[in-house]
Structure 1
Amino acid sequence: MSKFKKKKSGELPPVSTASLPDIVFMLLFFFMVATVMRKNTLMIENKLPSADQIEKLDKKNLVMYIYAGKPSSRYRASAGSQARIQLNDKFADVSEVKAFVLAERAAKREEEVPFLITALKIDGNTNMGLVGDIKKELREVQALKINYTTKSGKASDNFK
C-alpha cells in the first residue's frame, strides 16, 4: 500500500516571470517604431495657402524648413505682432537665414548636400517683402532648390 502525501499548505505556486523580459522588449520595440518625434514647435500662425497642383516630397530628411508668419498669440507679447521668421525652435532675423542654411548643410553628408531642398512654410497673410528677403538670402548661399509648402485645395480658396 502506498502513501499519498497531502500538501500541508494551500498556497498557490509563484507566478513564472520567465517571459517577462520578452514582453517588455516587445512593448519597447512597438513604442520605438510607433512614436513620431516632432522636430519643431510652431511659434507662428501658419495657415498655409491652398493649391490644386501639388507634389509630395519623397525624402523628408533632405528638407530644411523655414517658417514665416505672425507670432502666435502665445508669443505675441515677446515677439510683437509683425511677421517673423522661425528657424528650428527660435525666432530669427532675415540675416540669420544664411547661417541656418550653412549649418544644415554641415550636418548632412557630403553626397546629400546637392539634393537639399529648402521648404518655405509661409502663412497665407504674410507680406511678400519678407518672402523676397528670405529668397535673396537663399540665393546668396546658393540654396536654389526652393519648395513652397501648401495645403491641398482650390487656389480660389486663398481669396476668401
Structure 2
Amino acid sequence: MAKFTKKKNGELPAVSTASLPDIVFMLLFFFMTVTTMKDDTLMVDNTLPIADQTQKLDKKDRVVYIYAGKPHERYRSKYGSQARIQLNDKFADVDEVAPYILAEKAKMRQELQPLMTTALKVDKETNMGLISDIKQELRKVNALKVNYTTKEGDAMRNIE
C-alpha cells in the first residue's frame, strides 16, 4: 500500500497560468470595442453653419472630407490668417484637391468608388471664392457628389 506523506518544507504550489490566454483575449476584445480611431487633427477653425433641412449620411466609409477655414491660432504665425484648405493632416492649395480626391478614390474598394461622396466641412466665415475653387477642382475629376456639413438648427441664426 502506498503511504501518503505531507510535504514538510511548506512551499506554495505553482501559480496556474491556464486561464491567462483567456484573460488576455478578453482584454484585447474589450479595448478593440471601446477604442475610437482619430481621423484627422483639425488645423483650421471650423464653426459650421446652421441649417434646418439636413440629412444624415448613412455610410461613412464612402465619404472623403475636405476642411476649409482660417488656420487655428497655433498655425497662424506660419500660415497666416487667410482661409486655407486642409486635406487629411496638412494644409493644401486648391490645385492639390484633384490629386487628393483621385488618391482617396483609389484607396476605396472598387464597388464603393462610384458611390464616393465629398463632404465639405467649411467654416461659416470662409469666403465663397475658395469654395467655388474647390468645387471646380472636384468637377475636373468627376467627383460630383458633394455634401456640405452643417449643424442642425434654425438657419436664421447664421445671420447673427
TM (norm. structure 1) is: 0.92
SS at structure 1 position matched to 2:147: strand
Partner residue, 2:46: 46
Tell me the alpha carbon deviations over residues 58-117 of structure 1, each in whole angstroms, 9 at most, x when there is no partner.
111100000000000111111111000001111000011111111111111222111000
**Cα root mean square deviation, aligned:** 1.7
Matched with 2:112 is: 112
Paired amino acid for 1:26: M
Unaligned runs of 5+ in 2: none
Structure 1: runs of 5 or more not aligned: none
Question: For residues 109 and 14 of structure 1, what CA distance do their matches in structure 2 show?
Answer: 52
Aligned partner of residue 65 in structure 1, secondary structure: strand
Aligned to 1:139: 139
What is residue 25 of structure 1 aligned with on the other side?
Answer: 25
- CA shift, 1:11, in A, is 4.0
The residue identity in structure 1 corresponding to 2:13 is: P
Superposed CA offset, 1:18-41 (max 9, x none): 101110111011111221111111
Alpha-carbon distance in structure 1 between the residues aligned to 2:6 and 2:104: 75
What is the alpha-carbon distance in structure 1 between the residues aligned to residue 45 and residue 28 of structure 2?
Answer: 36
Deviation at 1:7, TM superposition (A): 4.5
Secondary structure at the aligned position of 2:65 is classed as: strand
Match in the other structure for 2:159? 159
Q: How many percent identity over aligned positions?
A: 67
Give runs of aligned pairs for residues 1-160 of structure 1, distance below 5 A.
5-160=5-160
The secondary structure found in structure 1 opposite 2:104 is helix
- Alignment CA distance shift 1:60-1:10 (3 Å): same
Secondary structure in structure 2 of the residue aligned to 1:95: helix
Distance 1:64 1:4 in 2: 74
Within 2, Cα distance between the matches of 1:101 and 1:10?
71
Q: In structure 1, how many angstroms separate the alpha carbons of the residues matched to 2:107 and 2:73? A: 32
